Structure 1
């Protein structure tokens, strides 16, 4: 009887080591790879750093602010930047730097709320139109076309005029005007996937349309939607600043950046700091989202990587 040769110890070591490598969650590895890719590209790295500073400033606003952003000091009105007031004071003697720091919270709130509203609405409308087709597609896309036929700022102005000027109504108005591009993109992505073999197999197994859309189509649309959402945030910030500038967004004394520019424009010839620093903040955050969106497109779109 022939004896079976024992397996080398290296096989045993390999066999025991293999499961350990598989314990690392794939999502974490993907996120780490994506972050490393973005940090290797100077433009997207700049965007990440600026957005990290925005989040950190918003969280630590009470610590970073040197003065109460709402306290008026009529004895120190329109002072230029100095050691006591880094960005000067406004027409009511309030510290511009402290108001700018606390204003980052309002900007971050707008970004967060608009994102959690626009993303699901755009995905739901676009995937439903692309998957079902027919009359559902016609109705949903005609509604989308109506929203797209108006400039976002003009449509936001109409909604705010109907709802009333306030920060909450401005956020609702921006969200109602920002979902159509997401819906169009999600529909286009769905049309490329709905006749795939794995979708047909799911139908044959008796999966409901809602389950197919949620489990099979939405994950395939997420990379493109994420890129579009990131790029749209620059428009969202500019729209919010525009509404605040026109007095239809955040109301005084809230330190919203657009409202700060609106107040300071009357003194900008002699007190340049009133509009310069809020304007630079809006520019930096908008540019950061654009650069980060470009980096995400290069990282998540294989066609862009192939072109490079």
Structure 2
């Protein structure tokens, strides 16, 4: 005799998907967070579909139509070499997104690892790692990035490395503070009594608890990363012409900005919009991941 099974029962949604749905719903209910989420969605879609959205070849020079104002076949006008500014902005979104992605995957793990090790073990580990962190924090990020790029050589790849080397200390400080709070918790003591190694405790118990705060900090740091990358490009130490990087576009257009405002206005607005979006999204994530807010939901 076989027992009939109920195949009509709906499958339960995984907890991770439920949490992600709740967070996105919370962000969309806040106008400022929704604006940040919308701008970043536009940035990602623009980078993916850049060949479809661009109206011209971003590298094609038209020396017969330089410095044309917006309109007449060029939505944002042309630069000093007749290149379409709108198309260059569209392809420049790929560079900005690449910088954000590469810096995030480097800075997040380094800062989280240094902070967790320092906070969990304490003693000499804490003293040495935090003094190194303090050295990096004692310099403004842009100045320190300039020093690293000067040592490595001016290029986009070296600019990304330099930004990554200067952006991890705040993450490490935050992870250390979180670890100091969690390491004396009862469940950590129980794990020690059961014979769990320090590496397992850090990886299985400490790191997951630090991730929400680190994610929020990373999101807020991305505005600084974008501005630093644009600053390096403006100073000629980042992306090199004819690469359509927004900071480099402002650098090449500053000589003509008095009479041809569109050369720097539209790249500047792009940098402003993305930086503002990350700040607003970071504030929204901080509220969404707040335990008090989560309890209300």
Shorter-chain TM-score range: over 0.9
| Equivalent position to 1:38, from 27, 32, 56 | 27
Aligned partner of 2:184 among 189, 195, 213: 195
After the TM superposition, which segments of 4 or more aligned residues of structure 1 sit over 3 Å from their partners? 15-21, 303-307
Per the alignment, residue 256 of structure 1 pairs with 245
After the TM superposition, which of the residue ranges 296-305 and 61-70 deviates more from structure 2? 296-305
Unpaired runs of 5+ in structure 1?
A: 1-14
2:47 corresponds to = 58
Deviation at 1:35, TM superposition (A): 0.3
- Per the alignment, residue 129 of structure 1 pairs with 118
Distance 1:162 1:236 in 2: 19
Instruction: Give the equivalent residue in structure 1 for 2:78.
Output: 89
Q: Which residue of 2 aligns with 1:3?
A: none
Deviation at 1:302, TM superposition (A): 2.6
User: What is the aligned partner in structure 2 of residue 221 from structure 1?
Assistant: 210
Mapped to 2, the partners of 1:238 and 1:212 lie a distance apart of 37
The alignment's TM-score, normalised by the length of structure 2, stands at: 0.95
Q: Secondary structure at the match of 1:68?
A: coil
Q: Which residue of 2 aligns with 1:293?
A: 282
Q: Distance in 1 between the 2:8 and 2:19 partners? A: 19
Equivalent residue in structure 2 for 1:204, among 162, 169, 193: 193
Distance in 2, Cα, partners of 1:272 & 1:234: 24
Q: Distance in 1 between matches of 2:123 and 2:177?
A: 15
In 1, the alpha carbon distance for the partners of 2:246 and 2:29 equals 31
User: Is contact 1:297–1:304 with CA below 8 Å preserved after alignment?
Assistant: no
Instruction: Please name the residue that 2:140 is paired with.
Output: 151
What's the offset of the Cα at 1:204? 1.1
2:149 paired with 1:160: yes
TM-score by length of 1: 0.92
Instruction: Report deviation, 1:24.
Output: 1.4
CA distance in 2: counterparts of 1:249 and 1:236, whole angstroms: 13
Distance in 1, Cα, partners of 2:182 & 2:294: 21
Matched, 1:271 2:268: no
Matched residue, 2:160: 171
Structure 2: tracts of 5 or more residues without a match: none
1:113 aligns with 2:102: yes
SS in structure 2 of the partner of residue 76 of structure 1: coil
The answer for the alignment partner of 1:71 in structure 2 is 60
| CA–CA distance in structure 2, aligned partners of residues 259 and 123 of structure 1 | 32
User: Whose radius of gyration is greater, 1 or 2?
Assistant: 1
Shift of 1:205: 1.2
Task: Give the RMSD, CA atoms, in angstroms.
Answer: 1.7
| Matches of 1:306 and 1:231, distance apart in 2 | 24
Does structure 2 conserve the Cα–Cα contact (< 8 Å) formed by 1:169 and 1:249?
yes
Deviation at 1:83, TM superposition (A): 3.8
2:64 match: secondary structure = helix
Per-residue deviation, 1:20: 4.4
Deviations 1:205-238 (A, max 9, x none): 1111111001000010011101100000000000
